[in-house]
Amino acid sequence: MSNDLIYKSAKELLGLFQRKEASPVEAIRAVLERVEERDKDINAFILVDEESALAQARDSEERWSNGNPKGLLDGVPISIKDMFLTKGWPTLKGSLTIDPKGPWEEDAPCVARLREHGAVIFGKTTMPEFGWKGVGDCELTGITRNPWNLDKTPGGSSGGASAALAARMGPLAIGGDGGGSIRIPSSLTGVFGIKANYGRVPMYPEGPMRNLTHAGPMTLTVEDAALLLTAISEPDYRDWTRLVYNNEDFTDGLDKGVAGLRIAYSPDLGYAEVDPSVRKAVDAAAKVFEALGANVEEKAPGFENILSIFRTHWGVGAAGALGSLPEIEKAKLEPALREFVEKGREIPLRDYTDAMTRRAELCVHMRHFHRDYDLLLTPATAVPAFDVGDRSLPNPDALRGDSDWHPFSYPFNLTQQPACSIPCGFTEAGLPIGLQIVSDSFREDLVLRAARAFEIAAEVSTLPPGY
């Protein structure tokens, strides 16, 4: 039974615990065994704490035995991206500049909510240094690889989280998204990831990119993501930007379907270059929504390439966070990141204020767009997973050069809208392709409904060959 548990969703595990057909201890032992078996090849984890995980699981097992489970996720294993504070564990953010000695005395809001809901937090996943790029490597932890093909990147910056999920090293993960960092790796590894509206999931401390960065669920099923989002959206007094909490339950209405919804489909946003295999898969996905009764129209949202706006915000944020490091510490940064920080310090105030103005205009533009359309469909990335360390694509070293291989993600960090990536097909080489679903502000319910309807109708496999 224990080996089978790694293939169970969080919802399925909770059902097994309730019926006493499996225990939280069995579930975490199965996950830990899987990590031991697979992670030596994938390198998804920077930290795994077996002792702590087993202790949490035993506590959960006792609660289930007494018929008194705790919260929504009691006993379910979950990993945390190493950008989020975890009490008692280092949070190194992929960087040699952070002292692992700490002290590490508090949890990030999402981690605190997970503890309150009884989840078994067993480890922390890898990320590129300070999450600055969309691939999964750094000098601290090395290269993280894609379970679908170990020569390929899982994407980033939540690449460790997505790789762990794809390899069935746990059913749930917490990722972070400042420019696509949940959706990019979800797309490249064939898992589900959602960036909720900014402010929905409390953040603390405020990240260097401030109101661009979102915490969010990464899962194998839409149902699990809705459940996880419900838990981590609960308020935290430390986040002064959080939305008003109205006891949201994102599992409510999940199966209402998409019949009658007005959906715009844009395969390229009107300007992006898209790999033919990606275009073919998302074209087919759009037709699924038509078959489900939605009113689908091919329609670009009507804004020009806004990469320069994003780069300016990102550059100023990076410079603010890292530009004042002592030279001895700055020398430890990845050379390309160090160069990017220095360029960020040179951005004139006028350029930054202009970028903020253009960002505001983009937000208003999208609010107008969503008066006519409930949802927007796009590819999640313009290309499938590419070789680790590859520089043959249009400058995959994003933010220094051209990030046109993921042009669909960062616009919706600027607008703060809910957006997800859901698996929608494969290349001829068998690599996963992701579909992005975007809603108007504050309408995570529509994103999740649409993703759930597509998940059921399309039946796209999320299990890599051999797993």
CATH number at residue 236: 3.90.1300.10
The predicted structure's pLDDT at residue 305: 94
Look at residue 26 and tell me if it is in a domain. yes
Q: Give pLDDT tens digits for 179-238.
A: 999 999 999 999 999 999 999 999 999 877 779 999 999 999 999 999 999 999 999 999
Angle separating helix axes 335-345 and 307-322, nearest 10 degrees = 100
The set of catalytic residues is: 81, 157, 181
The predicted structure's pLDDT at residue 390: 64
Look at residue 464 and tell me if it is in a domain. no
The span from the CA of 87 to the CA of 104, in Å, is 5
Look at residue 463 and tell me if it is in a domain. no
Is 0.85 topped by the overall pTM?
A: yes
Look at residue 466 and tell me if it is in a domain. no
Report whether 380 contacts 436 (CB < 8 A): yes
The predicted structure's pLDDT at residue 403: 59
Domain count, the chain: 1
For the chain, give the number of residues: 467
Tokens 């890599």 -> residue: 464
Look at residue 467 and tell me if it is in a domain. no
Look at residue 266 and tell me if it is in a domain. yes
Q: Which residues of the chain have pLDDT under 50?
A: 391-402
Report whether 450 contacts 261 (CB < 8 A): yes
Look at residue 465 and tell me if it is in a domain. no
**CA distances in angstroms from 444 to 14, 249, 267, 339, listed in the order given:** 24, 11, 22, 37
Look at residue 376 and tell me if it is in a domain. yes
The span from the CA of 152 to the CA of 432, in Å, is 11
Range of the domain at 242: 2-458
Rg over alpha carbons for the chain, rounded to the nearest Å, is 21
- Identify the CA nearest to 167 among candidates 59, 64, 35: 35
